[in-house]
Amino acid sequence: MPIADNPLLGEWTGPYGLPPFREIKPEHFEPAFEVAMGEQLAQIDAIADAAAPPSFANTVEAFDRCGRLFSRIEMLFGNLAVSDTSPALQAVERTMSPRLAAHENAIYMHAGLFERVDALHARRDALGLEDEDLRLLERVHLDFVRAGAKLRGEARRRHAEITEELATLTTRFAQNLLAEEAGWLLQLHGEADLAGLPDSVHSAARTAAADRSLGEDAYAITLSPSLAEPFLTFSPRRDLREMVWRARVERGAHEGEHDNRPIAARIVALRQELAALHGYASYAEYALADRMAQDTAAVLELLGQAWEPAKAKAAEDRALLTATAARLGEPTPIAAWDWRYLAEKVRQQEFELDDAQLKPYFALDNMIAAMFDVAGRLFGLRFAEKTGVDLYHPDVRLWEVRGRDDAPIGVFLGDNFARPTKRSGAWMSVFRSQSALDGGTLPIVVNNNNFAKANPTLLSFDDVRTLFHEFGHGLHGLLSQVRHERLSGTRVLRDFVELPSQLFENWALEPQVLEQHARHWRTGEPIPKALIDKLLRARRFDQAWATIQYTAPALIDMALHSVPHGTPVDIAQFEAQQRAALGVPEDIGQRHHLTHFAHLFAGGYAAGYYVYMWAEVLEADAFDAFIEAGDPFHGETAERLHRHIYSTGATRLPAEAYREFRGRDPLVEAMLRKRGLIA
């Protein structure tokens, strides 16, 4: 194909500078990447070969500016590969992943460029730089060092080999997981299989079956959490619950082409070797050196404060659930596929709260309006939906975002429904990052969820929290106000990036938000105050289960990535040993197992799954600032939150940014109270 005919390489003249989605085909990416990589490397050479002595402007700032063509293609490709993939696109991904890693190596191991960056870094205190410029210099220098720029000879060559192989393996891991999830379903036959399921689950199961061409009157349960978890919660069919539970646990652990066990083991071995090249005893030490936590001791101390109290509280909850099982004639002792079902029965009995009662008030469109309203009241944002814009899938919606002065802030895309071509889970990404250089660029942010599509789509409260969580990330990208792209939006340390998202979840439970937006999808009546009160009273119920489900994989992640270099790991055996050593309750289990733990093996959270609890310490303490002010929308507190947390990107060290917002360091007690682990 002639380069001139490749839509990825021409100017993107559509609305908001969006990619020309309708014109793009998988075969366009490989030649476009070749052109863009060549262009960026030429720009890198020009910076390195400049006759003028290195300065911040001609080296560091020039580096931040370069490669814009490559970046826009890479961001587009990355988004499509996880949101709307195809066999053809997956083939391109397999081909390009090691080549993209090699391209990154060529940049960060460019001796001439690093020599200039290193020289500037050595005399950074004498350069008279503004704070943000100094921060960029320090961050870019650290990026080079952690990418192997200081390595020499065989170590440098081996580092490049490792990163390229890791790129291939993480791609395979993700594609295997998608194949396992897309290839499994439980078809429901007749009233016996559908018994106990609320109308919202009926509707979602019918839509899932229709999407898979199973027939007009067919019903299917997939492994999408928004369908599988309600089934585990409401279905009285213990045999079917066990089938769904086992299918979720065993993803990636089947013999054959989609077996992730050997892939995960190889990834771990390569990470051990990578860390050793950098002089670290384990990959966890290497990873944590660039995090707020700094070392494994800090992580284990935090997780330990939750782990044992959660197990003790779970013993009390287990007794209650076991008594409920006996009353219902269910088998005892209870199993992991019983816990959600029995917990729902206890919730109904103890709190008179039924999730099926809540869902009619949580229509997706109303909850989107709620999160936009909160963003408006806190930060002065307005969201105007625009239709008729060419996007990558019919389910995707677009909103134009403006600020208090009506100035454009950016573009927000919402992609909320599960489909076989989309990876599971929920995430935020960008098609374009914010920066203030060269006239400035406004961000294009996308939130992906995996809600079960139905008519109407009704959310569980957990789904509502997920919606708000990802939108918190989205606001972190949209509200960014920095000069340099490398420091913009969510490009902060991994254990700080979850603060804006987890903090925003708090407003999903605010009574005044619920009273205004949680309206019955059929009648339009607001959610009764009595139901809100029940929801607030029940919010700590079963938190021990949730804490164990999260903390167990976080601890196993740390153990796995603390294994020293040269120690072979059998993934299944290692996980079994860790579960036994930790005392993971068999009837609770864990949210993620290693063979499908995409956070670790395909998502950048290796030795980092702890970050959600680390950020929870920050967000629980941060929301207390609003409680102390007596108003969840307190203007001065919201302004500090905007200025120091949501808009600053990586221009400040996270601990400094937090202290500027809160006036002190965070206290862990707020998180433990929120989880019901202390009074």
Mean pLDDT for the stretch of residues 74-84: 98
Over the stretch 55-72, which tens digit does the pLDDT of each residue have?
A: 999 999 999 999 999 999
Answer for the pair 245, 258: CB distance below 8 angstroms, yes or no.
no
| Residue type for position 164 | E
Q: Could you tell me the domains of the chain?
A: 3-150 (1.10.1370.40), 184-249 (no CATH), 261-353+542-609 (1.10.1370.10), 360-537 (1.10.1370.40)
In this model, does residue 619 exceed pLDDT 60?
Answer: yes
Block residue for tokens 């969510």 = 490
pLDDT at 429: 98
Mean pLDDT for the stretch of residues 110-134: 98
Q: Is 56 helix (H, G, I), strand (E, B) or coil?
A: helix
Mean pLDDT for the stretch of residues 193-202: 94
Indicate the average pLDDT of the chain. 96
Q: Is 370 helix (H, G, I), strand (E, B) or coil?
A: helix
pLDDT at 664: 96
Distance in angstroms (rounded) separating the CA atoms of residues 100 and 106:
10
470 catalytic per annotation: yes
Share of the chain above pLDDT 90, in %: 95
Over the stretch 178-192, which tens digit does the pLDDT of each residue have?
A: 999 999 999 999 999
Share of the chain above pLDDT 70, in %: 100
Mean pLDDT for the stretch of residues 33-56: 98
Q: Of these residues, 180, 470, 616, 619, which one is catalytic? A: 470
Task: Kindly indicate the confidence band of residue 125, based on its pLDDT and cuts at 50, 70 and 90.
Answer: very high
Exposure on the CB side of residue 126, measured as CA atoms within 13 A: 5
pLDDT at 1: 56
Q: Based on C-alpha coordinates, what's the Rg of the chain? A: 25
Mean pLDDT for the stretch of residues 568-576: 97
Over the stretch 597-610, which tens digit does the pLDDT of each residue have?
A: 999 999 999 999 99
Q: Report CA dihedral (258, 572, 498, 477) to the nearest 10 degrees.
A: -20
Buried b vs exposed e over 94-108: b needs ≥16 C-beta within 10 Å?
eebbbbbbebbbebb
Q: Is 628 helix (H, G, I), strand (E, B) or coil?
A: helix
pLDDT at 196: 95
Distance in angstroms (rounded) separating the CA atoms of residues 427 and 469:
9
Answer for the pair 354, 341: CB distance below 8 angstroms, yes or no.
no
